[in-house]
Amino acid sequence: MSLAAFLLSAVLALSPQQVEVAARITADGQPECTLYLPDQTSLPCRPVITVIAGARVIGHSSGEVIRLTGAAVRRLNRDEFALLVAHEVAHYYLGHTASTPAAELAADRLGAALACRAGFSPAAGISVLRFAAAGRTHPRRDVRRMAILAAPCRVPAVTFAR
């Protein structure tokens, strides 16, 4: 491995503290979901979190992979990071494959519940919305702020998609 590649791999990773935050949020994995492996073992359903290069704070969830930019790993405080990860984990749990205003608000609500259940403060992390762009797929920040702050601190009985 070249020195440049090593430095890049060192930068593009979650810190041990961030790994712990993500583990607390995903906890036992998606409720009522188990992965059965060919060797007869099984695993809870949890997304894989990877870090990609990027100077803007962005989280993205597709299928079983959550991608966070390097900026998201470096620039967020603990509660902001927890709320971002929880939002993306919520997309995974809810089986979202595309971004729509309804999907974003559902992920905001479930994500706030997941972050709060894990011991983080959605109210303290909500400043992460300063990085959120509104548009065709994402609701306005004040609408998202209300959805997050109104979410109860428990994971609601929702129908999970996977």
Residues lying near Zn ion in the complex (CB under 5 A) are found at 104, 107
Nearer to Zn ion, 38 or 156 (CB): 156
Per-position DSSP letters for 58-120, written without gaps between them: -EEEETTEEEEEHHHHHH--HHHHHHHHHHHHHHHHHT--S--HHHHHHHHHHHHHHHHHTT-
Write down the least CB distance from residue 39 to Zn ion, Å: 34
How far apart are the C-alpha atoms of 87 and 80, rounded to whole Å?
Answer: 11
3-class SS shares of the chain: helix, strand, coil, % to 5: 50, 10, 40
CB of 19 within 8 A of CB of 73? no
Write down the least CB distance from residue 4 to Zn ion, Å: 32
Nearer to Zn ion, 3 or 130 (CB): 130
Nearer to Zn ion, 107 or 126 (CB): 107
Nearer to Zn ion, 17 or 64 (CB): 64
Q: 42 is written with which tokens?
A: 């099984």
